[in-house]
Amino acid sequence: MRRTGTNLPKVGQYNRAVVLDQIQLADGISRIEIAQLTGLTPQTVSGIVRRLIDEGIVREDGAGASNGGKPRTRLRVNAGAGLAIGVHFDPYELSCVVVDLLGQPLVTVQRPTPAQAGPEEITEAVARLVDEVLTAAGVQRDQVLGLGLATPGPIDQSLGILVDPPQLPGWSRVPIKEMLAGATGLPVTLDNDATAAAIGERWAGAGRGVADFAYFFFGAGIGGGLILGHQVYRGGSMNAAEFGHTSVRPDGPHCYCGNVGCLESLINPPALEAEARRRLAAGDHAGTTLVAPDHHAIRLAAAAGDPLAAAVIDEAAGWLATAVVNVVNIVDVDLVVLGGHGIRHVEERFRGAVQQALATRPLARRIRTVQVELSPLGPDAAVVGAAALVLHMTYSPQVSELLSL
115 Cβ contact list (under 8 Å, min separation 6): none
Of 252 and 376, CB closest to Zn ion: 252
- Which residue from 208, 116, 211 is spatially nearest to 169, judged by alpha carbons? 116
Of 152 and 205, CB closest to Zn ion: 152
Instruction: Determine which residue in the list 11, 206, 262, 335 makes contact with Zn ion, applying CB under 5 A.
Output: 262
266 binds Zn ion (CB under 5 A): no
Of 259 and 356, CB closest to Zn ion: 259
Q: How far is the CB of 10 from Zn ion (least distance, A)?
A: 43
Cβ neighbourhood burial of 190 (10 Å; 0-12, 13-18, 19+): buried
Instruction: Determine which residue in the list 259, 326, 371, 398 makes contact with Zn ion, applying CB under 5 A.
Output: 259
Q: How far is the CB of 208 from Zn ion (least distance, A)?
A: 31
Of 247 and 356, CB closest to Zn ion: 247
Pairing between strand 72-77 and 83-89?
A: unpaired
245 binds Zn ion (CB under 5 A): yes
Q: Tell me the window of 76-84, 103-111, 255-263, 297-305 that interacts with Zn ion (CB under 5 A).
A: 255-263
257 binds Zn ion (CB under 5 A): yes
Q: Tell me the window of 119-127, 134-142, 243-251, 281-289 that interacts with Zn ion (CB under 5 A).
A: 243-251
Q: How far is the CB of 399 from Zn ion (least distance, A)?
A: 29
Asked if residues 106 and 383 have their Cβ atoms less than 8 Å apart, the reply is: no
Q: Tell me the window of 73-81, 126-134, 250-258, 348-356 that interacts with Zn ion (CB under 5 A).
A: 250-258
344 Cβ contact list (under 8 Å, min separation 6): 299, 378, 379
List residues binding Zn ion (CB under 5 A).
245, 255, 257, 259, 262
